[in-house]
Structure 1
Amino acid sequence: MRMKSNVGSVDKWLRIAVGLLLIVWAVAGGPVWAWIGVVPLATGLFNFCPLYSLIGVNTCKR
């Protein structure tokens, strides 16, 4: 199964920014749960969100 992009540009950059901020916080001694930032970072970098696929959301311009 090929992953079709479903994360648009604004969504992508917000995910990357939030993901990086959470990871930096975790590295700087924040709570362990801040490592969840890996998820939005990855979905932003790959332009694909599995949850969006499940619920039928697509923020890409057509």
Structure 2
Amino acid sequence: MIKNMGAADKTIRIILGIIIIGGGFYYKSWWGLVGLIPLLTAFISWCPLYAPFGISTCRKK
């Protein structure tokens, strides 16, 4: 897999994932598990939705 996420994109996804998981705990809902998706994509630096469209937020060398 070629990385297609930059630093700002990863930071936003980590924060968003933590907020969603926190909301799931607060409301005692299984929907908090959805927060694992942005966390996982941030940690592997690859977004499957970016791939088919050729989008990349990485800086070009």
TM tier relative to shorter chain: 0.7 to 0.9
Length-normalised TM-score, structure 2: 0.86
Residue 60 of structure 1: aligned partner: 58
Residue 45 of structure 1: aligned partner: 43
Q: Give the letter aligned to residue 38 of structure 1.
A: L
RMSD: 1.3
Residue 23 of structure 1: aligned partner: 21
Identity level (%): 35
Cα distance in 1 for residues equivalent to 2:32 and 2:25:
9
Residue 33 of structure 2: aligned partner: 35
- Cα deviation 1:24-49 (Å, max 9, x = unaligned): 11012254334211111111111010
Whether 1:14 aligns to 2:12 is: yes
Length-normalised TM-score, structure 1: 0.84
Regions of 4+ moved over 4 Å: none
Q: How many residues align?
A: 60
